[in-house]
Every structure is written in structure tokens, then in C-alpha cells.
Structure 1
Amino acid sequence: MMCVKAAVPRAGWWRRVISLGLPTLWGAVAIIFAVGTGLVVHGRRALLRELRQARRVAGAAQSVLLRPLPPRVDGLTVAAAQMSADRGATIGGDLYEVVATEHGVRVVMGDVRGHGLAAIGTAAAVLGGFREAVHDEPDLGGVLRRLDRALARHLRGHAERDGTDSEEFVTVLVLEIGAGGELRALNCGHPWPYLLSGSVVEPLSCADPMPPLGPFPLPGDLPGLHCGHLLPGETLVLHTDGAEDARDAHGRFFSLAECLRGAAEAPPQAVLGRVFTALLDHTGGTPKDDVALLVLRNDRQLQPTQGARGTARATTSHPQPTTHLT
């Protein structure tokens, strides 16, 4: 009987310990959970701040590298835009520029291997070389050689810093539009532009391009390829391969030529919107590669002596200064 009486107080003491300990334990768990949740929220906010900062930096880099093009360049109406496949960046490996020079309007469209922020340095080297060379070099071959040397210097410096050989390359199309609409081009591995003339949509040339810049030396002779004329009212659409390589959910490629049919009369900015909208619809809003488009329309005045496409024509005059005002 004494043993039974002794066990009762012990059991009551244990129940009191449990009754006091459980609330304390649950309180500790709640505190730990609250602290952990606070740390997670704080970490998430810090990451979002860093992401916003990275995007601001990328936007600043874009404004310097792919600076906005003027709406008109020497009688040509211009519009350009790019869409990066990297959601964390506002800029990819595509590059473009349009410059009026004493040799004609000179244009470059290029695509650096890869995409995202890592491609900015290479694109900057090529664009910097182009912006300087177009005013100095009287022919396109000299411009292209300057781009090749600028890229080689960049890749050599990259290799010296990292201690590894760089395997980067750049596809480049260099184009010249003369005062009378004469077209000359040099193409290093880049898609040919589309020419929009009335209801006709066709590649500017079917010639085989040279290899991309970087892996192989340029040939000794670089005469610009004559590609006919860009007549008043006609449009050129330059693009990177991300446009025609885009696929839908069934693996079907995007048809840029079909998308451009009926767009010859549209202003260049409207052509951009039309193509990008169709691209996003085709890919379900998730393109796998960077895409850049550059649209040039010849809005110079047609002279009475000018003939139809493919025939000899006199020079094309530029609009009077008053026609530039809007």
C-alpha cells in the first residue's frame, strides 16, 4: 500500500511538468518559425532588390551598347528592337547600328555566340569597331577587316585574363546603301535580310555567306557584293537567326517571310510590332534565343527617270528639309 501511495505523487508531478512544458515548447517552436519566416522574407526581399539592381545595370548597359536609333537616317525611316531570351537581362548577344557617312548609309547586324550579360563585352567590341571604321574606310571590305581586328583584340584580352582560349564567334552582316539606293553587302555567317517590295518578300541575296568572325581569317580580297537597289517605298528587314529558329510546341519553325507578307506598306515601327507579336504567339511567350530586328524603309523621293526594279536608274534625291518636320 505504501508503494501505491508513493507512486501517485510522482505521476502528478510528471503531469504538472508536461502541462507546463508543452506551452513552453510550442511557444519556442512558434518563435523559431516566426524568426525563420522573417529571415526567409528578408532574404527574398534582398534577392529581389539585387535582381532589380541587376536589371537596372543591364538597362544602362543596353542604352550605351544598343543606343536608340534615330527615326530617320539620310532619307531612310528606321526602327529596331531586340528581345533577350534571358529573363534576368534586358540585353542579349545581338547587335545593330545605322550610321550616315560620306560613303553612304552603313548598317551592321550581328549575333554573338550565346546570350545574356556574358555576351555584352563581345558585342561592345564589334560595335565600337564599326562606329569608328564606317567613317574612315572608303569600302566595306575595310570596315569588315576593322571589325575582325577589334574582335580579335577583345578575344585575346579575354584569354589573357582568364588563361583560357575563347571560342566565341560573331555572325555579322555589313550593308551599305548608296545615295541612289545601291546596295552592297558583306556577310559573315549571318541570315540575309528580307526585301519587301509591294507583295513580294524575298531574301536580299542567295549567295553563300563567309564563315563567322572569330574562328577563321578573312579572305585576302573582300569586294562588296552588289545586291541591286533599295527603291523608294521598299523596305529591308534585317534579323538575327533567333527569329527563324524559333519553334512552337510542336517543333515547327517560325516563318518570318510569311509574317512579312503584306507588310511592305506598313511603317517600320509597325513591322517590328507585327513580327514580335507573331513570334511570341508562335513560341507561347517563351523564345529560346535572342531576337533582334532592324527595319529600313527608303522614303527618299522617286525621280521621273527611275525605272522598275532591276533596271538602270538615276540617282534618288533626298526630301527637302521641310519634309523632315513632324
Structure 2
Amino acid sequence: MIRIKARAPTVRGAVLPFAWGAAAVAYKYGCPLARQGGLGGRIVTSAVFFAVGAALVFHVRRALLRELRQVRRVARAAQSVVLRPLPPRLEGLNVAAAQLSADRGACVGGDLYEAIATEYGVRVVMGDVRGHGLAALGTVAALLGSFREAAHDEPELDRVLRRMDRALARHLREQARTEHPSHGGPDPGHPVVEDFVTVLLLEIGENGELRVLNCGHPWPYLLSGSTVEPLTRTDPLPPLGPFALPAKLEAHARGHLLVGESLVLFTDGAEDARDARGRFFSLPGALADVVRNHTVTPQAVLRTVFTALLGHTDGRPTDDVALLVLRNERGMKPGAWDSDLSGPGARLRPAMTRPQPTTRR
């Protein structure tokens, strides 16, 4: 647990308000002008007390702003450890991710993501904790910590998911014990059933093979050429938390991520965002705009989608939104991508590619 220790007031901070107050009292009782009942005396007395009051307000405001800046620095440092920046490249994959919090001033909310290069392939997690803002940060930390260890230790993706499920169960039990003491509260050994997390686990092999486990999370979109389509339309497993994982659990093969193709992982805040008239944001439409009018890079995808989403919600999203984009550039040398300028939508194409499977399951 991260604790923020309040800074003890300095001697100057304690003396200045006392000195201003003493000066006001001395003027009131020691200055002959303050004891005069005329209009001039009352005006001067009011001006003195107004100046002292304004100085005190200014001093308190400056102290509060200084304390707020300190708390924000600590919070940003803690958040950067929990949801650390992803490397720009992982085993030949171009990677970019960003998160938009519904809580104003927060850098991390209830969304989580991570991508790690392991001996079993590049393993990626995208998740969404119930709720948003800093209140969900503890659950995010528990899940990401479990994933970062299990991704290297476990050879099978299903075992990674089981370890994350156990870490979540422990965290929810501890949270229930803290929020509901044993005297008169619910059994702390049984977490609140409303707490849940949607999780998508993805593994990209050396040949681009995709293996996926999905617990209640939206399926990622595949950008291939000028097309935008979901990776699959099969029903996912229930979210982690309220339901136990099935006894038999196996990652599903979902084809291959070919050279030049991109996967866009996201949380449901992207598709659930509404405008002032209640209309949902069209994430496929924003992605179609990327492949039609922009050079398809992960950075261009993030920039286009977030710009369109903020415009759709008038800059006030009601839920956290996270996007993670992976583009397969394996086998490409730096500068080997040529821009196809024959049409309005400039698209990147490989100048040299290695053979890849052409069938998609």
C-alpha cells in the first residue's frame, strides 16, 4: 500500500498567520485611529482587516496548492509503476498504448494492459476492472503483478489466466475484510459478487500465430489492408471474479497476425462512449478512417481514435478508455516500408517479406 505522508508545517508557515493576526489586533486596540467612530476611521479599519484577511486566504491557498502538487507527483510516480509505458518494439512488433481516465486529473483508472516478450512468444493482457479512477488502482496492481510473473513462468496461456484469477480472488478477499469487519459485516472470505474484471489474454508466436483466452472482454479488431473486422465473433468466457474458471481451459488458436497487419485491443469504454444525444461511439468507423486516410501505424491509430472519441463525447468521457495496438513488422528492415501514394489512403506495404501462412482460422 502506498502512503502519502503529510509534510509538517514550516516555522514560516506557522509564524506568518500569527504575525498577521497579531498586527490586526494591535491595530484594533493600540491605534487611536481604530478607536475613532467617524467614517474615516471605520474605512481605514475595514481596509486593514480586509488586507489581513486577503493575505491569510492567499497564504492558505498557496500552501494547499503546494501540498496538492506534492500529492500529484507521488500519485504519478505510483501510477507509472503500476501501468508502466510499453516498449515501442517487442520481437518485431510495433507497439503503442494509451489510457484515458474518466476521473479528471487521474492518469490511471480501472483499465489495465501489458505486453511482455517471453520465451513462449509475446504475451499481452488487456483488462477492465469494474468501476473507474483511482479506486480501482489496487485491483489493477494485483492483476498486473500476477500477469508479469506468470507470463514468464507458465508455458501455457491457460495457467497464466488461472494465476491471475487466484491473485484477484486474494485481493478481493482482503478488500472485503478491510471494508466489512467481522463484527456485523458479511463473511470476509467471500468477496462481493459485484466485483469483477474482464480480461483478454493474447499470445503471438514467432510465426505470427495467435492464441487467445477471453473472459468477458471485447474482442480486438484486426486491421488488414483496408478492412476492419473483429478477430472472432465467438462468445467469451464469463468475467473473472463472480464465476469460477472451467475445469478444462485451453487457449484458442485464432489464425495468424501477418506482416503488415495490426491488432487493436480496447476496453468497453471506447464502444460505450455516448454523445449528448445518446449515440454510441463507432470504434470500427474510426478505425476505418485510419486505414482509409492515414498511414497505418500504432501511433496513428491511437491519435485518430482518441481524437474522434473526445470529439464525440465533447471531451467528457464517462468511463475509462484504454487502447493497445500491435502491428506485425517482423522481417522488415528499418526504412523497408514504402508508402503507396496511388490513392487518397496512403498505406504502408513491405518492400520485403518472409513467407507467411495465408489461411485464417
- Answer yes or no: same fold by TM over 0.5: yes
1:63-74 to 2 correspondences below 5 Å: 63-74=80-91
- Contact 1:80 1:272 survives alignment (8 Å): yes
Give the Cα separation in 2 of the matches to 1:307 and 1:149: 37
Percent identical among aligned pairs is 68
The normalised TM-score by structure 2 is: 0.77
Aligned residue number for residue 300 of structure 1: 330
Aligned residue number for residue 141 of structure 2: 124
Aligned residue number for residue 216 of structure 2: 189
- Contact 1:246 1:283 survives alignment (8 Å): yes
SS at match of 1:261: helix
Give the Cα separation in 2 of the matches to 1:190 and 1:46: 44
Aligned residue identity for 1:229: H
Count of matched residue positions in the alignment of Structure 1 and Structure 2: 293
Structure 1 residue 82 displacement after superposition: 0.6
Aligned residue number for residue 29 of structure 1: 46
Structure 1 residue 19 displacement after superposition: 7.9
SS at match of 2:38: helix
SS at match of 1:263: helix
**Deviation digits for residues 41-92 of structure 1 (CA, Å, limit 9, x no counterpart):** 2333233223322321221012201111111111111001111111132211
The reply to whether residue 289 of structure 1 matches residue 351 of structure 2 is: no
- Contact 2:256 2:357 survives alignment (8 Å): no
Give the Cα separation in 2 of the matches to 1:43 and 1:215: 47
| C-alpha RMSD over aligned residues | 1.9
Gaps of 5+ in 2: 1-34, 182-190, 332-352
**Deviation digits for residues 249-302 of structure 1 (CA, Å, limit 9, x no counterpart):** 211111111111153451111211111111111111111111111000011134
Aligned residue number for residue 20 of structure 2: none
The reply to whether residue 274 of structure 1 matches residue 301 of structure 2 is: no
Distance 1:47-1:168 versus aligned 2 partners, 3 A rule: farther
Gaps of 5+ in 1: 1-17, 312-326
Aligned residue identity for 1:289: D
Aligned residue identity for 1:98: A
Aligned residue number for residue 221 of structure 1: 248
Give the Cα separation in 1 of the matches to 2:44 and 2:36: 13
Aligned residue number for residue 172 of structure 1: 199
Structure 1 residue 307 displacement after superposition: 4.7
Aligned residue identity for 2:308: A
Give the Cα separation in 2 of the matches to 1:255 and 1:100: 32
- Contact 1:243 1:291 survives alignment (8 Å): yes
- Contact 1:197 1:234 survives alignment (8 Å): yes
Match of 1:80 among 83, 94, 97: 97
The normalised TM-score by structure 1 is: 0.84
Aligned residue identity for 2:354: Q
**Deviation digits for residues 157-206 of structure 1 (CA, Å, limit 9, x no counterpart):** 22222326544321110111111111111111111110000111011111
- Contact 2:232 2:254 survives alignment (8 Å): yes
Structure having the higher Rg = 1
The reply to whether residue 252 of structure 1 matches residue 279 of structure 2 is: yes
SS at match of 2:324: strand
Aligned residue number for residue 162 of structure 1: 179
Structure 1 residue 309 displacement after superposition: 4.5
Ranked by relative contact order (alpha carbons within 8 Å, sequence separation 6 or more), the top structure is 1
Give the Cα separation in 1 of the matches to 2:195 and 2:177: 14
- Contact 1:95 1:109 survives alignment (8 Å): yes
Match of 2:56 among 39, 48, 55: 39
Structure 1 residue 218 displacement after superposition: 1.1
